[in-house]
Amino acid sequence: MSSGEARSLAAGLPDFPWDLLEPAKAAAARHPDGIVDLSVGTPVDPVPAVIREALAAAADAPGYPLTAGSPALRAALTDWLVRECGAQPDGLGVLPTIGSKELVAWLPTLLGVRPGDVVVIPSVCYPTYEVGARLAGATVVRADSLTAVGPSSRVRLVWVNSPSNPTGQVLPAAHLRKVVAWARERGAVVASDECYLSLGWEDSPLSVLSPEVCGGSYEGVLAVHSLSKRSNLAGYRAGLIAGDPAIVGDLLAVRKHAGMIVPAPVQAAMIAALTDEAHVDAQRSRYAARRDVLRTALTRAGFALSHSAAGLYLWATRDEDCWSTVDWLAQRGILVAPGSFYGPAGNRHVRVALTATDERVAAAAERLA
């Protein structure tokens, strides 16, 4: 590939959102007590010992691992999906992935989505859904513009995200059923990003793999999960996709050719993470405490919170342009993400992450007071 061709691929993508935050980050860093960075949902707590021990024990791994995952990992994936997502084990395809962002970005391409095809994404959502569609050359339609999708449109992929990043909204079973039925009528795949499923607060999230949603059939249905948040494994790049066995089989075939393989020590760590819920409960308690502190502080400072019923973020507004809110908080040494990163409908909100240490969360609350 020539440099010109490489540039043309990048030219079709939006600016990397967090690069645009650099001026606000610099302003927040000038605070005498340092920055409180609540802009990115990256874990800050230790990797649980049981997972680190499994990783170390599997470190002597000179041979190539299985792209499909070891038999032990596939069994652990299936058992976890049955236990935590209400899935039925019969006919369930499972596949480990190199984190979830890689899968989100390349899923349209791996599914054979092409120029002229349509990918539907949520109205306010994680930017990588759009990036993945653009990499495949597809047309992106946000869910609030579905009237533009006529019966003859080539809809190939529909993304849903519950609990939502950035809003924390939880989609009810009836809504998810309608999405699945709508996609099946058009021969499209539903990909449900469920990376925050274990972090329900006021609402209880439901997986698309639940019979209550998919009707007991995985046809055209995929669920995407990550161990980054529930187990503090962002640095391990440990994710999975599950659902329609025919589609999962096709994804496996392409990923084998492309060398998209989860390293063997990480596969061993995933087994440990998926078979131990005690560390998940402990981490959930940490996030719950930080959430209470930030939610109280933001409300007292005049912010209104929308949705925010699950997940790792508070979706907050001062009823002004989101960049004005970013600047207002940066002057107090607090960095957040502007809602416009997640689509035009988010331009009066900011996303506040719960992923900071207890000390930094307390510092943010004090500054907001």
User: What structural domains and CATH numbers belong to the chain?
Assistant: 3-46+279-368 (3.90.1150.10), 61-275 (3.40.640.10)
Q: Which two tokens stand for residue 332?
A: 């107090």
Q: What tokens does 275 get?
A: 């078979």
Strands 334-335 and 313-317, sheet pairing = unpaired
| Torsion sign across C-alpha atoms 158, 239, 305, 279 | positive
The torsion of the CA quartet 211, 99, 44, 82, rounded to 10 degrees, works out to 20
What pLDDT is stored for residue 13 in this prediction? 73
- Would the pLDDT of 128 be above 90? yes
Can you give the pTM of this predicted structure? 0.93
**Do 297 and 364 contact (CB within 8 A), yes or no?**
yes
Among 20-34, 109-123, 140-154, the least confident range: 140-154
Cα dihedral angle (324, 327, 331, 336), rounded to 10 degrees? 120
What are the pLDDT digits (tens) for 207-234? 999 999 999 999 999 999 999 999 999 9
In this predicted structure, the answer to whether residue 68 has a pLDDT above a threshold of 60 is yes
Higher pLDDT, 150 or 18: 18
| Residue with token string 């058009």 | 186
Q: Please give the sequence-ordered ranges of beta strands (E in DSSP) within the chain, or none if there are none.
A: 36-37, 93-98, 118-121, 139-142, 155-161, 189-193, 221-226, 238-243, 304-306, 313-317, 334-335, 337-338, 350-353
Residue 11 has pLDDT above 70, yes or no: no
Average pLDDT over residues 303-326: 97
Residue % of the chain over a pLDDT of 70: 95
104, 161 in Cβ contact below 8 A?
A: no
Arithmetic mean of pLDDT over the chain: 95
101 pLDDT tier (thresholds 50, 70, 90): very high
Residue-wise pLDDT for 174-214, tens only, equals: 999 999 999 999 999 999 999 999 999 999 999 999 999 99
Predicted confidence at residue 215, as pLDDT, reads: 96
